Amino acid sequence: MAFEAIVKKQITSLKGPCIKFIDMVSHELITTVYQCISKLSAFPQLREETERIIITEIREQENKCRDQVLLLIDIQLAYINTKHEDFIGSASTRNPQNVIQKGWLTISNIGIMKGGAKEFWFILSTESLSWYKDGEEKEKKYMLPLDNLKLRDVEKGFMSSKFVFAIFNTELRNVYKDYKCLELACNSQEELDSWKASLLRAGVYPERDAEQENGAQTFTDPQLERQVETIRNLVDSYMSIIYKTVRDLMPKTIMHLMINSVKEFISSELLAQLYALGECSALMDESPEQKQHREEVLRKHSALKEALTVIGEISTSTFTTPLPPPVDSSWIQHQRYKFDAFRAGVSKVGSLFPPAQHNPKTRRPLAGRSSPVNTTASPPVSQGDFETEKS
Domain CATH code at residue 53:
1.20.120.1240
152/164 Cα distance (integer angstroms) = 9
Domain containing residue 114: 99-212+219-233
Instruction: Quick: pLDDT tens for 241-273.
Output: 999 999 999 999 999 999 999 999 999 988 888
Instruction: Quick: pLDDT tens for 330-383.
Output: 766 666 666 666 666 656 555 555 555 555 554 555 444 444 444 444 455 444
| 31 and 71 together in one domain | yes
| 182 and 162 together in one domain | yes
89/94 Cα distance (integer angstroms) = 5
Is 315 among the domain residues? no
| 197 and 263 together in one domain | no
pLDDT higher than 50, residue 193: yes
Is 253 among the domain residues? yes
| 158 and 271 together in one domain | no
pTM: 0.50
Three-state secondary-structure class, residue 115: coil
| 106 and 184 together in one domain | yes
| 224 and 259 together in one domain | no
| 228 and 267 together in one domain | no
Chain CA centroid to CA 22, Å: 24
Residues in the chain: 391
Three-state secondary-structure class, residue 21: helix
Tell me, what's the pLDDT at 211?
47
| 144 and 66 together in one domain | no
Name the amino acid, one letter, at 5.
Answer: A
| 53 and 12 together in one domain | yes
Is 94 among the domain residues? no
Chain CA centroid to CA 285, Å: 42
Calculate the alpha carbon distances from 169 to 180, 220, 390 in Å.
7, 14, 145
Instruction: Quick: pLDDT tens for 21-70.
Output: 999 999 999 999 999 888 887 788 888 888 899 999 999 999 999 999 99
Is 316 among the domain residues? no
Total domains in the fold of the chain: 2
Is 24 among the domain residues? yes
Percent of the chain at pLDDT exceeding 90: 22
Tell me, what's the pLDDT at 74?
94
| 208 and 255 together in one domain | no
Is 317 among the domain residues? no
| 201 and 146 together in one domain | yes
Best CA proximity match to 81, nearest among 91, 71, 70, 69: 91
Tell me, what's the pLDDT at 226?
67
